[in-house]
Amino acid sequence: MERKNTVPKFPESYIGDKSEEYENSLSMERNQKKTTLIGIQYLFDENLNKIGRIDFLKKNPYLILDLGCGTGFSTEIMLEQGFRVIGVDILNDMLAKAVYKKPFLSNAKNVEYVLADINQLPLRNNSIDHAMSISAYNFITYGKEGFREMSKTVNNSAKSLYNIIKPNGRIIIEFYPKDEEELNFFISSFINNGFNGFMIKNNPRQKGGQTFILLKKC
């Protein structure tokens, strides 16, 4: 029997009826929220404290940028953990569902949603404490052809994030690179644009698979 390909395709897997399926999937909600909690733990990772100027994060109401927030599963967890959040997504079908749920959140005043491209964020320089992206960042190269165009995109994205993140701000990115080459491609874009950090792989033996990149603005 032929194995069904379950790898999501952007944007086809997140628009129209597919966005409804995503929003109504209990397993998707559970996985996204669980992964977000792991990402928040990594935000406070002691090894990030030692990069650049030593600083230990306290659980203050930081302003977190949720990159590729989708229907808001990750944003909801960030709010529950006491953060103020700006959720950003490029797909209106996904973001509209997050906006619809906003009035029902007990701390709705602490979240704003923005329809925007991660590569062109309409935010002021040094205005965001930290950023997090759950299962979305590798989609920034969608529609880009050839190494040169893709490289320009990921570098411009990293540079944009460097500008809007405050000094010593942190970024946690969870994504699924298809191989080591793509993983190194994304990591180098941050290292070349003022960040330092390291990665944590869910399964170190896998060339791809779930990967967390922990970064700090230097």
Band the pLDDT of 1: cuts 50, 70, 90: very low
Q: State residue 3's pLDDT score.
A: 38
Nearest to 116 by CA among 141, 95, 142, 138: 95
Q: What is the arithmetic mean of pLDDT over 57-72? A: 93
Could you state, in order of their start, the residue ranges of all structural domains in the chain? Answer: 12-217
pTM: predicted TM-score of the whole model, two decimal places: 0.92
For the domain made up of 12-217, give the CATH fold.
Answer: Rossmann fold (3.40.50)
The percentage of the chain sitting over the pLDDT mark of 70, rounded to a whole number, equals 94
The alpha-helical segments, DSSP class H, found in the chain are 17-24, 26-43, 46-49, 73-80, 92-101, 146-164, 180-191
Q: State residue 132's pLDDT score.
A: 98
Q: What is the arithmetic mean of pLDDT over 37-46? A: 96
Per-residue pLDDT tens digits for 102-149: 999 989 999 999 999 998 899 999 999 999 999 999 899 998 888 889
